[in-house]
Structure 1
């Protein structure tokens, strides 16, 4: 094997290894936002929608809790972006015209998914003065100006181990839940005219012990080839050393 071929193999293996080690959020995948299909407003409201994934499958989403109104996909879009409000290193694309659910009162809300999801993104319009208190930890991805003003987010952890999102001004933006979830619950801690949200994700959570991806198998094959080549190169040197002795 020529030195140039060996160098090319090693470079390809290194590139594949680097690609496989990059966090999913750094690969600039599009976020798949929920298309809300129907809703019922009221103190005990509900809504259903779907997240259409890139492979043709989908995840069903169900909401329960107080609902002031909803914005159907393709109608009035409330997701105006003041510049980086709904996008970040982890989020390439904001909710656009995929729709929204609007809340206006205190109380508990729940979202349930037909399949657990990794990297659940929660986009907000005008967080209320009291904030939201979640049962899952989250990371603030972005905040800024939007449909109803501008402001910023901050996170608090309560003595009871809850995760509270609070804001200053009229914050709009995106948070991301840190673990795979099949449902999330949160309490709205303030009442106002309305504040809106929707959710999205890269895709379904990976099942335990998944079948290796083609890139992983290719990396293993390249590793075996390089090791085999190095061993074959070592044998003549050993034989020459024995003969000289």
Structure 2
């Protein structure tokens, strides 16, 4: 789909540029409050449900990291945008049967939460001759009632060290840090404080695992306040198309 088909053109470029400027202001303010520099925070533009033409506009605007939730959409989009030199992040729940496809294009996978999945992705990455960065997804609400508002995914914080060890031991993968999604209920700052503690524990064991992927359009300030290095942002950049894109 071209930019013109999506109604992009100059108007779409201007809209995304305005959204990006507003997002940068929010990040700058959050970093100032937290006593951090904005250069410490990377925006991962989550382009789920949006066309490759938007990815190109984002790249023109200086965005170098792009995230996708679903392999069936991510794989062709990454191929279509291969000339842009982007860093592709797979941020959705990964299934073992999709590990082979994801290993072909993803530079970072944010959602490793069990050792079986680690083994599958590692095997596929080796087969592709690639080294894939990995984040251990942490469940910030493991005591939630089953089915209360739908699972967010992730390993119980008590199980994170075992998953991290598995990633670190797997040839073809590198342990880059942790990721989490704040619970739908409660204070996101409290949830991200728990993630900050888990991240510190992982770094104590693996000093190079410095990425903390946390925060989306609605809660990025709380995430920045608790050490987030990567923000997964969709709606604030690309507007809302009726889906939860970050």
TM-score range, shorter chain: under 0.3
- What TM-score, normalized by structure 1, do the two folds share? 0.25
Larger RCO, structures 1/2 (Cα 8 Å, 6+ apart): 1
Which structure carries more helix by proportion?
A: 2
User: Rg bigger for which structure?
Assistant: 1
